[in-house]
């Protein structure tokens, strides 16, 4: 004796009874999942583009949907998480600026980038093992106009780059740019000359923005003009502006961005990490060479 179709599917009551929900055998139903055709009751059915689906098929479909990624492989940020890293960096810079106002020159002298100098009966500087100055100097500002201009620039460049790269890659880009700027300044400047400010990191973001724009085929003329104006201001005021930090940050950020943005989808993470490590290795070599020269 052959079996009816209802007898052969799970979740049916048998040859004489109506179908029952596969999750609730005590509930009769005439609704079936459009994917697996199992009977589902009103509490279990989930609206779909066509008909209804059962909870199991909905979960399976969710697992199969690939998470949206940006051109650099970063997660697409939600509205509530937009520019969270940029805002944090701005907050850190402002917090350090307030600390400078409260503590004064002693704090600046301890955190500013300087190669080597004699103070208070002892030698100070990066060459004396104070490596932290390579980072702290990039968050240090003394004048309101200085931090104001830098934070406006960070707010302009940060959010689009953070959205395109993802938070982790954006942080890496910012730090590599900052270290690139302080490293070149340390290499070329007089060991006794101090340097501070986030400008090196910002020039790195400038370079990265141009790389990203080229990758996405944007009109780069406005950004190119803005970068050219900033470089012109830099070289017209070489006595008061540390051009070395600007160029170092620009080169480091541009090179890092090329690896981040142009890495193919296959082995993307490996290539991106390798690029960041390669740029970082060059920075370390620069610092070690300069330290050997002046220590």
Residues tagged active-site: 199, 246
Among candidates 259, 295, 242, which has minimal Cα distance to 126? 295
Q: State the DSSP H helix or E strand holding residue 52, giving kind and residue range, or none if neither.
A: strand 52-53
DSSP states of 204-243 as a string?
HHHHHHHHHHHHTT---HHHHHHHHHHHHHHHHTTTTS-H
Among candidates 40, 33, 34, which has minimal Cα distance to 19? 40
For 238, other C-beta atoms within 10 Å of its C-beta total 10
Q: State the DSSP H helix or E strand holding residue 124, giving kind and residue range, or none if neither.
A: strand 122-124
For 175, other C-beta atoms within 10 Å of its C-beta total 19
Among candidates 150, 167, 148, 149, which has minimal Cα distance to 159? 167
Specify which residues 118 forms β-bridges with: 123
Token readout for 199 is 């400008």
Note whether 161 and 170 are within 8 A (CB).
Answer: yes
C-alpha distances out from residue 292 to 37, 110, 131, 288, Å: 75, 22, 14, 6
Q: 77-99: b or e for each residue (b if 16 or more CB lie within 10 Å)?
A: beeeeebebbeebbeebeebbee
């Amino acid at each position: 004796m052959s079996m009816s179709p209802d007898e052969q599917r799970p979740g049916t009551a048998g040859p004489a009874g109506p179908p029952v929900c596969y999750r609730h055998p005590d509930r009769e139903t005439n609704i079936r999942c459009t994917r697996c055709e199992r009977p589902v009751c009103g509490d279990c059915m989930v609206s779909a583009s066509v008909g209804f689906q059962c909870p199991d098929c909905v979960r399976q479909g969710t697992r199969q949907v690939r998470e949206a990624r940006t051109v650099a492989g970063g997660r697409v940020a939600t509205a509530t998480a937009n520019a969270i890293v940029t805002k944090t960096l701005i907050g850190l810079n402002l917090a350090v600026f307030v600390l400078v106002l409260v503590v004064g020159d002693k704090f600046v002298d301890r955190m500013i980038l300087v190669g080597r100098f004699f103070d208070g009966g002892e030698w100070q500087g990066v060459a004396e093992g104070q490596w932290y100055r390579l980072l702290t100097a990039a968050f240090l500002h003394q004048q309101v106009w200085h931090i104001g201009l830098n934070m406006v620039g960070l707010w302009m460049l940060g959010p689009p780059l953070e959205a395109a790269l993802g938070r982790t890659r954006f942080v890496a880009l910012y730090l590599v740019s900052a270290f690139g700027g302080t490293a070149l300044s340390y290499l070329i400047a007089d060991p006794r000359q101090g340097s501070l400010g986030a400008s090196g990191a910002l020039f790195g973001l400038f370079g990265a923005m141009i790389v990203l724009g080229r990758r996405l085929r944007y009109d780069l003329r406005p950004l190119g003009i803005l970068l050219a104006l900033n470089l012109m201001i830099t070289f017209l005021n070489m006595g008061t502006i540390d051009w070395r930090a600007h160029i170092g940050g620009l080169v480091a950020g541009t090179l890092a961005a090329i690896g981040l943005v142009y890495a193919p989808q296959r082995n993307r993470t490996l290539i991106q990490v390798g690029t960041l490590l390669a740029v970082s290795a060059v920075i370390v070599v620069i610092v070690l060479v300069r330290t050997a020269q002046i220590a």
